[in-house]
């Protein structure tokens, strides 16, 4: 792990060094903007133009998103409050005001989730002979089957805990399913009963299929919580149960490791991971019928206030329903399957190095075009005797990745293999630690990046001997080196042997593994050194063009827009007459279409069956257009606390990338929301009945046929 550059000389964080002309009224709250994004996800679950089982999937995604929001963002706000922070953020809200606003929105959001599940989705699924049987609907056959299933598959792994001075309230794991049982009577040892806890082991499925001969339906399910509720009394022989109530606690899951104060980052992270599941409680979800006295008891155990309690009319682990669509073989209730095709410029079976040399750059648009050529580059590099070295960054990859296997093969074949692994990729830390061990055991040089800066750039470099000289081949992209997400995330890849790009990538790898200074790169812009300044300069160029009577244009696509410096520049661009189009999937702190501030700025958010993940930045129009693909969002953390790259797309591929990644999305009127001056997102409606979906159009454009499984 290399030393960090001197942070004092790298940046000044724009959240604390704002342009004085940017008032707090000019920024939306980041956390409320995220909740607005999650409302758009929930809107897809409500949308009857979306296949029914996919609607259930979107409901689960909205639940998973909310869990992570509480684990990280709400937990962070609570930490500020506990630390006595009262000052307002860059949007003018104090932590206390922020938490209050979030709570109001989140409670209403949860109410809508369960109303949608109970009143819309479950009845609609029932009409398709997909049934979730509640205890009230069980007949004798079902009740007998439930008892047998419980005795055989559930009871042996349960450890009920009676609460008394010898058995105090235990430390419950983050997001685990638990039951509190209100007991009456004496136990076998003559002790007065009171409350007992039963934890549902994570090894147990949360939704259990029921045999067709028992329920009469091909697709019948029962919730684990219903089975445990029904059979709970059998765990407390001789005592009477006055009630069984499910609950779930969400905890702070942020890892607190000061990299500059530890001798070994990996060891420190391993130690911290042991505590992740037991961080400070931030939310309590309980069954809607749970008595107030029991809720108060649970609140005391977790030190939570009334606003932190969420009563739910259904399973508290809602996102576990995400497994259901894969268990049901009804294609008409899902998105049509399709197989990403191999890009036409690539010949199957041909030497990948020859293909890149003949056609560089090769731009791939995933998942519409197959990710296989990227994997093939590493596969052929591992087996090619002329390849001398492979260097790759890994952020979220997984230990079972094809990339990992080929990198290990290359190392065993005597090639020099270097991998930069980001140990601190949130919620993938444990997997990345295991991965780093595997790679090191295969003889690969593993580097953990730079202290204080996450390595988020997506880069791959292959060095090959050709006719007595060394030739470099590179892959850069907007997405992680993960073959599974490459089938469900939209991303842009570029394969090239362009010397300006490959030389820059070589320099960056040398910097990451060594102790180099800031680089003088010829084509690539790099965070935390030049990327922020470069983006501001490109916007300033468009301002200058507009002020001189020309046509200024900025089109940018990203996951999140948070950086105050960029927002201020975009406001000034709007005032100068620059046309600004922003495609921001999630959080956006910029306010659009506000008179006197942002009349010339349009912000849209496009969602769909694939997770929109590309970052593409376009400046200028017509013959003076420049376009970049990047690993970075326009956020302070990406500009100043991460190693990121933005790579120019050569002119030969520029118009295609602009068309597919920007123009299609600005045209979308089916799954597109537009941010208006009132600060709210309004769903775009088709004009004259002409419906256009960017994702559907791209599937058709690339002729991917009809088989992403």
Query: Each residue of 496-534: pLDDT tens digit?
Result: 999 999 999 999 999 998 877 768 999 999 999 999 999
Distances from the Cα of 525 to the Cα of 44, 309, 453, 519, 675, angstroms:
36, 46, 16, 10, 30
* pLDDT at residue 89 in the model: 85
Q: What is residue 94's three-state secondary structure?
A: coil
pLDDT digits (tens, 9 = 90+) for 648-684: 999 999 999 999 999 999 999 999 999 999 999 999 9
* pLDDT at residue 269 in the model: 42
* pLDDT at residue 339 in the model: 85
The answer to whether residue 257 scores a pLDDT higher than 50 is no
The answer to whether residue 108 scores a pLDDT higher than 90 is yes
Domains and CATH numbers, the chain: 352-523 (3.30.870.10), 526-701 (3.30.870.10)
* pLDDT at residue 268 in the model: 47
* pLDDT at residue 47 in the model: 97
pLDDT digits (tens, 9 = 90+) for 274-294: 454 557 899 999 999 999 999
Q: Quick check: bond before 368 cis, omega within 30?
A: no
Range from 250-254, 274-278, 413-417 that averages highest in pLDDT: 413-417
Q: Which of 12-21, 404-413, 488-497, 617-626 has the lowest mean pLDDT?
A: 12-21
The answer to whether residue 624 scores a pLDDT higher than 60 is yes
Greater pLDDT, 258 or 360: 360
* Active-site annotation holds for 366: no
**Whether the predicted model's global pTM rises above the 0.95 cut:** no
Instruction: Considering only the C-alpha atoms of the chain, give the largest distance between any 2 of them, rounded to a whole number of Å.
Output: 90
Contact 362, 442 (CB under 8 A): no
The answer to whether residue 578 scores a pLDDT higher than 90 is yes
Q: List the strands of the sheet with 219-223, edge to edge.
A: 130-132, 219-223, 207-210
Strands 616-619 and 626-630: antiparallel
The answer to whether residue 583 scores a pLDDT higher than 60 is yes
Q: 188 falls in which pLDDT band (50, 70, 90)?
A: low
- Average pLDDT, rounded, for the chain: 88
Question: Could you write out the three-class secondary structure of 317-370?
Answer: CHHHHHHCHHHCCCHHHCCCCCCCECCCCCCCCCCHHHHHHHHCCEEEEECCEC
Q: Quick check: bond before 367 cis, omega within 30?
A: yes
CA distance 494 to 476: 5
Greater pLDDT, 242 or 64: 64
| Mean pLDDT of all residues in 38-44 | 98
| Mean pLDDT of all residues in 475-504 | 94
The answer to whether residue 426 scores a pLDDT higher than 80 is no
The answer to whether residue 46 scores a pLDDT higher than 60 is yes
131, 219, 365, 456: the catalytic one is 456
* pLDDT at residue 4 in the model: 44
For the chain, percent of residues with pLDDT exceeding 90: 70
* pLDDT at residue 454 in the model: 86
Provide the CB-side half-sphere exposure for 66 (13 A, CA): 31
Greater pLDDT, 361 or 343: 361
Greater pLDDT, 45 or 23: 45
CA distance 358 to 377: 15
The answer to whether residue 258 scores a pLDDT higher than 80 is no
| Mean pLDDT of all residues in 27-51 | 97
């Amino acid at each position: 792990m290399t030393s960090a550059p001197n942070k004092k000389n790298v940046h000044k964080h724009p959240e604390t060094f704002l342009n004085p002309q940017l008032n707090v009224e000019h920024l939306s709250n980041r956390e409320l903007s995220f909740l607005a994004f999650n409302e758009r996800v929930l809107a897809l679950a409500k949308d009857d133009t979306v296949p029914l089982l996919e609607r259930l999937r979107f409901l689960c995604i909205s639940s998973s998103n909310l869990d992570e929001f509480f684990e990280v963002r709400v937990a962070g706000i609570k930490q500020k409050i506990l630390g006595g922070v009262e000052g307002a953020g860059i949007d003018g809200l104090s932590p206390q005001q922020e938490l209050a606003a979030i709570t109001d929105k989140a409670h209403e959001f949860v109410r809508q989730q369960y109303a949608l599940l109970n009143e819309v989705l479950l009845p609609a699924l029932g009409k398709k002979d997909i049934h979730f049987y509640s205890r009230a609907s069980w007949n004798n056959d079902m009740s007998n089957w439930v008892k047998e299933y419980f005795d055989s598959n559930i009871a042996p792994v349960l450890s009920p805990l009676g609460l008394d001075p010898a058995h105090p309230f235990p430390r419950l794991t983050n997001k685990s399913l638990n039951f509190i049982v209100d007991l009456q009577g004496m136990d076998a040892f003559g002790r007065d009963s009171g409350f007992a806890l039963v934890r549902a082991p994570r090894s147990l499925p949360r939704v259990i299929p029921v045999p067709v001969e028992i329920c009469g339906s091909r697709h019948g399910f029962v919730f684990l919580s219903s089975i445990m509720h029904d059979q709970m009394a059998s765990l407390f022989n001789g005592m009477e149960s006055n009630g069984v109530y499910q609950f779930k606690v969400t905890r702070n899951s942020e890892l607190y490791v000061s990299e500059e104060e530890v001798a070994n980052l990996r060891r420190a992270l391993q130690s911290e991971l042991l505590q992740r599941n037991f961080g400070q409680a931030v939310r309590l979800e309980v069954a809607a019928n749970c008595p107030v006295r029991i809720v108060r008891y649970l609140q005391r155990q977790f030190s939570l206030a009334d606003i932190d309690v969420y009563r739910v009319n259904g399973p508290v682990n809602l996102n576990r329903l995400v497994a259901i669509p894969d268990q049901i073989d009804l294609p008409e209730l899902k998105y049509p399957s399709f197989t990403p095709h191999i890009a036409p410029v690539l010949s199957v079976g041909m030497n990948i190095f020859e293909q890149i040399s003949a056609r560089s750059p090769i731009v791939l648009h995933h998942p519409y075009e197959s990710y296989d050529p990227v994997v093939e580059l590493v596969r052929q590099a591992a087996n090619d005797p002329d390849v001398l070295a492979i260097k790759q960054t890994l952020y979220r990859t997984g230990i079972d990745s094809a990339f990992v296997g080929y990198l290990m093969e290359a190392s065993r074949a005597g090639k020099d293999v270097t991998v930069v692994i980001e140990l601190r990729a949130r919620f993938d830390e444990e997997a990345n630690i295991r991965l780093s061990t595997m790679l090191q055991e295969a003889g690969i040089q593993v580097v953990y990046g730079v202290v204080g800066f996450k390595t988020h750039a997506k880069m791959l470099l292959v060095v090959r001997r050709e006719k007595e000289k060394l030739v470099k081949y590179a892959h850069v992209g907007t997405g992680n080196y993960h073959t599974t997400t490459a089938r469900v995330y939209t991303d842009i890849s570029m394969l090239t042997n362009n010397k300006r790009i490959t030389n820059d990538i070589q320099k960056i790898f040398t910097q990451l593994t060594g102790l180099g200074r800031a680089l003088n790169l010829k084509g690539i812009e790099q965070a935390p050194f030049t990327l922020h300044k470069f983006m501001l300069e490109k916007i300033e160029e468009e301002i200058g063009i507009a002020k001189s009577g020309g046509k200024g244009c900025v089109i940018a696509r990203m996951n999140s827009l948070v950086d105050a410096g960029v927002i201020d520049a975009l406001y000034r661009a709007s005032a100068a007459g620059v046309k600004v189009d922003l495609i921001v999937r999630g959080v956006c702190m910029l306010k659009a279409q506000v008179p006197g501030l942002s009349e010339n700025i349009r912000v849209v958010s496009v969602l769909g069956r694939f997770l929109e993940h590309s970052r593409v930045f376009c400046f200028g129009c017509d013959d003076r257009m420049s376009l970049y693909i990047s690993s970075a969002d326009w956020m302070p953390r990406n500009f100043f606390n991460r190693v990121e790259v933005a790579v120019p797309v050569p002119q030969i591929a520029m118009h295609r990338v602009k068309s597919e990644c920007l123009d299609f999305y600005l045209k979308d009127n089916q799954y597109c929301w537009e941010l208006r001056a009132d600060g709210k997102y309004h769903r775009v409606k088709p004009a004259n009945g002409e419906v256009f979906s960017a994702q559907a159009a791209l599937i058709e454009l690339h002729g991917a046929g009809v088989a992403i499984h």
